[in-house]
Structure 1
Amino acid sequence: MNILFVADPLATFKIYKDTTFAMMRELQRRGHAVAACEPQHMQWQSGQPVSALVRRITLTGDASDWYHVEHQGREALRDFDAVLMRKDPPFDSEFFYATHLLEQAEREGARVFNSPRALRDHPEKLALMEFAQYAPPTLVTRSPEAIRHFHTEQQDIILKPLDGMGGTGIFRVGPDGMNLGAIIETLNQGGATSVMVQRYLPEIAAGDKRLLLIGGQVAPFVLARIPQGGEVRGNLAAGGKGVAQPLTDADRRVAEAIAPTLAERGLLLVGLDMIGNRVTEINVTSPTCFQEIHDQTGFDVPAMFVDALEAALA
């Protein structure tokens, strides 16, 4: 099969931990051809199919020079067996427009994963609100007054921007309300920007767990991202320590309650974030942690993913 990745620039990949790289490596190991482009390389001209300036690559196995470009040229997305949308957040206007081009490519016959419509319909912070019974008390609002009222009710809260990633812009405010006004001003920008507020979960000390839902199934290991020092954030990008752990029965019950619904909507790969037994985010744009789990447990997450992709294309 010919597989096209729509992703960040290849030169920016940290291949020792990059999940998209792990997908590419497993696909090539099975004899599939790999190509890549960036969202900015896609275009749609009237009367023509959606196309992209594509680089067909071979992975070399050399960490210092990990890919070789075999061919570069403009190709229609519908001519690939699958298109994998792996652009990292933020989910900004350009990401939004890219999903529209990908959806048009679908109408022309392309198979796109995750589904462009599902990407638009499941913004990563807001998506959990559909499954509120599994989430901590959560508020999404532009209103400073509503945030203050929520803090009065919950006492200990986490505030974060809706478009953040990697733990950026996350604040904790305890019962004393210290700096709540300044934090609201920073995140809310005078009422122009929505903010997500959640009750603080002390179980974060044991880690912010990343569960992987692949083809509607739950991977048997999770990556617990454990805050270090005085941090409240477990995100690896914020200095958290990633520790792979077996999936618990409690986590499995929550994940298996959510996974089929998301899979039916065209979400082949989902990163479900849990603290304790509560879901805090549902990540659908470019979920990660494949290599960390594989390296620590031996469980081949990339193989599970490619199995699911091949089954979806069969």
Structure 2
Amino acid sequence: MTLRVAVQMDPLETINLAGDSSFALMLAAQARGHELWHYDVATLAFDMGRITCWAAPVTVQRKAGDHFQRGDYRKLDLAEDIDVILMRQDPPFDLGYITATHLLERLEGTTLVVNDPASVRNAPEKVMVLDFARFMPPTLVARRIDDVREFQARMIAKGMGGDLVIKPLHGNGGKAVFRIPADGSNLGALLEMFHAAWVEPFMVQPFLPDVAKGDKRIVLVDGVYAGAINRRPGAGEFRSNLAVGGSAEPTELTAREEEICAALGPVLKAKGLVFVGIDVIGGEWLTEINVTSPTGIVAIDRFNGTDTGARIWDAIEERHAAMLRG
């Protein structure tokens, strides 16, 4: 069955062909004969009961400098004209992002949205993970400097060292992630910056020296393990995100990581979170559950000879058929 697929994502002109998971999903959809449309979330609208957008048909190819062709834009009724929406625009996870999920949620039962917009809204990367605190390193979510200092003192008392990592609760790609030394010398200045930039609390965790060995990105498709890569920090960095200079290498799961996947899988599937990337440090510490616009499938497939894009579309097609059956 040919599906009409609308991809809600950032401009096609700006993507990195070498590692963009959204582009890989578009290629996989096109290979199956599905019809592709692209639109910017800024054009999403509620129009007298209809959910609409301003979209253009596209074809894609893995050819640098000539990776897509776009037809004429027109207004689409996302319930009538489209079968599947891929919600793939990058964070920030702000009120604009949240509003888009509220609009897309109104398509339930008529158009399949992946990942499920209500679940994405209720499970941002560093919030849903708190449901699985037993797999996480000690974690503080707060805004007061006194809370951070108290947390740091407890980490020292537990023998976990005094260095901390502080990061925005709704950031992405390793942006604005800072290391605080045991003496707390830069804590006041960093919190001033965080308070000025974000109204929400931030996340604080002990610095894990094992991050030097890598930060594993594990992909689950409809709750089932599909592959993983190990991301090592670049020279002079402690962040391992590929977007900030980290490098990828092949890897296998530890017994602890298999346990984490087994615990998360049924929950993710039940929430309609079809494509999820989780991050694990040192083979044991779960740090994030990425549901908004997860990445990593291009590197995973390159190392493992797999086709994760096809596997994701298998899951999407199965869900779409189930939706039609009611």
Same fold (TM over 0.5): yes
Cα deviation code 1:261-302 (max 9, x no counterpart):
121011111110111201101111000011111122212111
Q: Matches of 2:231 and 2:77 in 1, distance apart?
A: 39
Per-residue deviation, 1:190:
9.8
Counterparts of residues 82-161 of structure 1 (less than 5 Å):
82-106=84-108, 109-154=110-155, 155-161=162-168
Q: Which stretch has the larger CA shift, 58-67 or 187-196?
A: 187-196
Counterparts of residues 126-275 of structure 1 (less than 5 Å):
126-154=127-155, 155-189=162-196, 192-219=199-226, 221-275=227-281
Alignment equivalent of 2:295, drawn from 288, 293, 298: 288
Q: What letter corresponds to residue 107 of structure 2 in structure 1?
A: A
User: Which residue of 1 is the match for residue 29 of structure 2?
Assistant: 27
Q: Matches of 2:119 and 2:23 in 1, distance apart?
A: 23
Q: 1:144, 1:191 within 8 Å by CA — same for their partners in 2?
A: no
**Alpha carbons of 1:14 and 1:190: their partners in 2 closer, same or farther (altered >3 Å)?**
closer
Q: What letter corresponds to residue 274 of structure 2 in structure 1?
A: L
Per-residue deviation, 1:98:
0.8
Is residue 67 of structure 1 aligned with residue 73 of structure 2?
Answer: no
Unaligned runs of 5+ in 2: 156-161, 322-326
**Alpha carbons of 1:289 and 1:192: their partners in 2 closer, same or farther (altered >3 Å)?**
closer
Query: Quick one: percent identity of the two aligned structures?
Result: 38
Is residue 309 of structure 1 aligned with residue 311 of structure 2?
Answer: no
Q: 2:138, 2:206 within 8 Å by CA — same for their partners in 1?
A: yes
Q: 2:277, 2:289 within 8 Å by CA — same for their partners in 1?
A: yes
Per-residue deviation, 1:71:
4.3
Secondary structure at the aligned position of 2:47 is classed as coil
Q: What letter corresponds to residue 234 of structure 1 in structure 2?
A: S
Q: Matches of 1:119 and 1:245 in 2, distance apart?
A: 28
Cα deviation code 1:183-233 (max 9, x no counterpart):
2222234994411001221110111111111111011x3121111222111
Q: 2:222, 2:268 within 8 Å by CA — same for their partners in 1?
A: no
**Alpha carbons of 1:191 and 1:286: their partners in 2 closer, same or farther (altered >3 Å)?**
closer
Per-residue deviation, 1:66:
1.4
Q: Matches of 2:130 and 2:62 in 1, distance apart?
A: 42
Q: Matches of 1:30 and 1:110 in 2, distance apart?
A: 19
Secondary structure at the aligned position of 2:125 is classed as coil
User: Which residue of 2 is the match for residue 51 of structure 1?
Assistant: 52
Q: 1:78, 1:106 within 8 Å by CA — same for their partners in 2?
A: no
Q: Matches of 1:116 and 1:153 in 2, distance apart?
A: 38
Q: Matches of 2:236 and 2:67 in 1, distance apart?
A: 37
User: Which residue of 1 is the match for residue 324 of structure 2?
Assistant: none
Q: Matches of 1:193 and 1:253 in 2, distance apart?
A: 31
Q: What letter corresponds to residue 8 of structure 2 in structure 1?
A: V
Q: Matches of 1:241 and 1:141 in 2, distance apart?
A: 31
Per-residue deviation, 1:31:
1.2
Question: Aligned Cα RMSD in Å?
Answer: 1.6
**Alpha carbons of 1:191 and 1:41: their partners in 2 closer, same or farther (altered >3 Å)?**
closer
TM-score for both structures, normalised by structure 2: 0.91
Q: What letter corresponds to residue 300 of structure 1 in structure 2?
A: D
Q: Matches of 2:247 and 2:263 in 1, distance apart?
A: 28
Q: 2:17, 2:62 within 8 Å by CA — same for their partners in 1?
A: no
**Alpha carbons of 1:61 and 1:270: their partners in 2 closer, same or farther (altered >3 Å)?**
closer
Q: Matches of 1:207 and 1:146 in 2, distance apart?
A: 29
Q: 1:143, 1:191 within 8 Å by CA — same for their partners in 2?
A: no
User: Which residue of 1 is the match for residue 20 of structure 2?
Assistant: 18
Q: Matches of 1:59 and 1:231 in 2, distance apart?
A: 35
Q: 1:136, 1:280 within 8 Å by CA — same for their partners in 2?
A: yes
**Alpha carbons of 1:60 and 1:230: their partners in 2 closer, same or farther (altered >3 Å)?**
closer
Q: How many residues align?
A: 311
Per-residue deviation, 1:54:
1.2
TM-score for both structures, normalised by structure 1: 0.94
Per-residue deviation, 1:249:
3.1
Q: Which stretch has the larger CA shift, 56-65 or 227-236?
A: 56-65
Per-residue deviation, 1:41:
1.4
Q: Which stretch has the larger CA shift, 295-304 or 113-122?
A: 295-304
Per-residue deviation, 1:51:
0.8
